[in-house]
Chain A
Amino acid sequence: LLFAMGLGTTITFASSHWLLAWMGLEINTLAILPLMCQSHHPRAVEATIKYFLTQATAAAMLLFASITNAWITGQWNLEFMSYSLPTTLVTVALALKIGLAPLHAWMPEVLQGLDLTTGLILSTWQKLAPFCLLLQINPSNTSLLLILGLASTLVGGWGGLNQNQLRKILAYSSIAHLGWMILVLQFFPSLTLLTLLMYFVMTFSLFISFKVNNSTTINSLSMSWSKTPIISSMVPFILLSLGGLPPLSGFLPKWLILQELTKQSLAPLATLAALSALLSLYFYLRISYAMTLTMSPNTLLNALPWRLPSNQHTLPLAITT
């Protein structure tokens, strides 16, 4: 199954023909579905079905757009999409695939229904293939991407504010970060890649630290100071880095994106995006407050951790820019 997922992403990466790219995306979706269903809980099945439906819709839209493009221009090559309608449709389809606002509604529910490892795979690996397609097409509709990006950052910030389920918070943070990535896609694609990479590293370490604590709510996180004090001290750094605070490495992509946006004379957009980053920072701070800055009076544990996977991904985060 994992091999199939790797295969799917690789096919999409290596493809220059639309059909092959679509096939890669489909293989990706289908391969992850049994992984999501593994726990046999009806909530997991619900998450799987929701994920499947959204991804299938997106793939169908993608296929439709590529066929339209082939109909109009007569060629299937990925890089040469020149008409606005197929390009727009492809962008919207890929936005649905990765969970950008306003097509984000499935993300929190789906992540909530899954266990932490599968959720990790969903929010990191599954974003690679659609991004590679997004990078290769030439967007003719610049404002669409900007609107998607800005809406995602705002929604990601506001939506995550009142959650106490960690997986939903991570879903909203994923939406916000993807918004940042999309904002700069048409101006400086390598910044998108940089943001993606940073986001991967940070989310990976977050998921792993939550898995070690075996916690899915903020409350159960508050016990972690007695279980693994090292993780409790590192997680605020990770979270603040996700929020984009200066000395941590998460600030780097945000800063460069803002710089790029101002160079393109989109200063109000940059301001709005920065303000919405503040919103998401609030709930990152809240998690770190619950986890590290308060010592809960009760020392009995919810569940004892039984495995300690390698946490070396936390190291890059402590490195300053």
Chain B
Amino acid sequence: MSLPKISRVPASRLLSAVHDPRWPLRSAAPLAVPKRALTQSGYRRPGQPREDKPPWQRIKFDFSKGLEGITKHFKLLRQEFSDRLVGPEGKPIIEHMLEQNRVIWEFRGPDSLQEWTLSSDREIGGQSEIHLKLGKNNETCFLYGTLQSAPPRDGETRYSGYCSMRSKQPLVSFDRKKHHDWSSFNTLHLRIRGDGRPWMVNIAAESYFTHQKDDLYSYFLYTRGGPYWQDVKIPFSKFFLTHRGRIQDNQHPLWLDKVNTIGFTLGDKADGPFQLEIDFIGVCKDYAHTEDFAYEVYKRNPEV
């Protein structure tokens, strides 16, 4: 890494700097500054190759791609306008009213895999791996990999070993955020086939404040491991609030009218290979479920 080198350079030249303060610094400066500027410009996801080109060499201008992008966005915009004429969310109101089940994510073609982002331990220096591919007959998605809970050697991470798959934020024309509106449903319905490991389902809702951007509503997903498919129905009232992995004390129910992403995380400390096959992810309306929220909202021992 270039950073330790920079910190080490003045120390070795410090003695000579006593006699002639300007010359070593001037020669050290052109060596140190460009490298620092290049690595510190923007975020580089660990695992991606580092690009040491200056910004003016990194421009990739492609006219046809730009034109494609513009036409795509305008098409989406036109689609949006025509959807609005039909009804809320592009469906007529009668369909919206009578809807009881809706399949949100289905894995029927390679395009469906583009909606998901994988991340794992590797970003912070660990050794877990995660991959996503289509299952047999292009019917399901197959999430597999290896979990290694050996913490990275950076001196500050104590525990490690996680893999996750998260859906991408849905976007409307011109890359504006769109939210899933699940207010007419109250249960999450998944059809999965796991290998017995406990997963966590995380739902990220739209937040307004910056300190809430890592707020996730989580719940557990225990997989059976058998060759048989498992239908899991989790009511949304069971999701509890976490922030960066820590369960919060002030809980509140998840509001379903602006949901951004859903994700699956594996973090049990069992090293080894894992796999999860998902057939579909949908939401449904369970009329017999009348619970508002499964956890206490008020303080149990309030300070008087």
Contacts and interface: CB of A to CB of B under 8 A. Distances in A.
B252 interface: yes
Contact of A42 (B93, B98, B183, B207): B207
Given A40-B250, A49-B208, A300-B288, A162 B84 contact: yes
B208 A218 contact: no
B15 interface: no
Nearest to A47: B208
B300 to A, nearest CB: 15
A124 interface: no
Interface string A217-235: 1111010000000000000
A241 interface: no
B290 A303 contact: yes
A222 B97 contact: yes
Most interface-central of B93, B288, B292, B297 (chain A CB within 10 A): B93
B256 to A, nearest CB: 10
A161 B84 contact: yes
Given A42-B209, A218-B97, A165 B252 contact: no
Interface string B204-235: 00011100100100000000000000000000
Interface stretch (A70-78, A83-91, A258-266, A290-298): A290-298
Contacts of A46: 207-209
A300 B252 CA distance: 25
A219 B184 contact: yes
Interface string A157-201: 000011111000000000000000000000000000000000000
A313 interface: no
B216 to A, nearest CB: 13
A43 interface: yes
A300 B287 contact: yes
A211 interface: no
Interface string B242-269: 0000000010110101000000000000
A19 to B, nearest CB: 33
Contact of A217 (B184, B207, B288, B290): B184
Given A162-B87, A298-B287, A40 B93 contact: no
Contacts, number: 65
Nearest to A223: B287
Interface residues of B, number: 28
Given A41-B255, A46-B209, A303-B290, A219 B215 contact: no
Contacts of A222: 97
Nearest to A219: B184
A302 interface: yes
A302 B255 contact: no
Given A217-B183, A286-B93, A298-B287, A43 B88 contact: no
Contacts of B181: 164
A294 to B, nearest CB: 7
Contacts of B207: 42, 46
B88 A164 contact: yes
A217 B184 CA distance: 7
Nearest to B255: A43
A67 B128 CA distance: 65
A290 B96 CA distance: 10
Nearest to B206: A43
Contact of B212 (A42, A163, A298, A301): A42
Nearest to B207: A42
A219 B87 contact: no
B290 to A, nearest CB: 6
Contacts of B99: 219
Interface in A274-305: 286, 289-290, 294, 296, 298, 300-303
Interface of B: 84, 87-88, 93-94, 96-100, 181, 183-184, 207-209, 212, 215, 250, 252-253, 255, 257, 287-288, 290, 292, 297
22 contacts: A40-B252, A42-B207, A43-B255, A45-B208, A46-B209, A162-B87, A163-B88, A164-B96, A164-B181, A218-B93, A219-B96, A219-B99, A219-B184, A286-B93, A289-B93, A290-B93, A296-B97, A298-B100, A300-B288, A302-B287, A302-B290, A303-B292
Given A46-B209, A164-B181, 4 more contacts: A49-B208, A161-B84, A162-B87, A163-B88
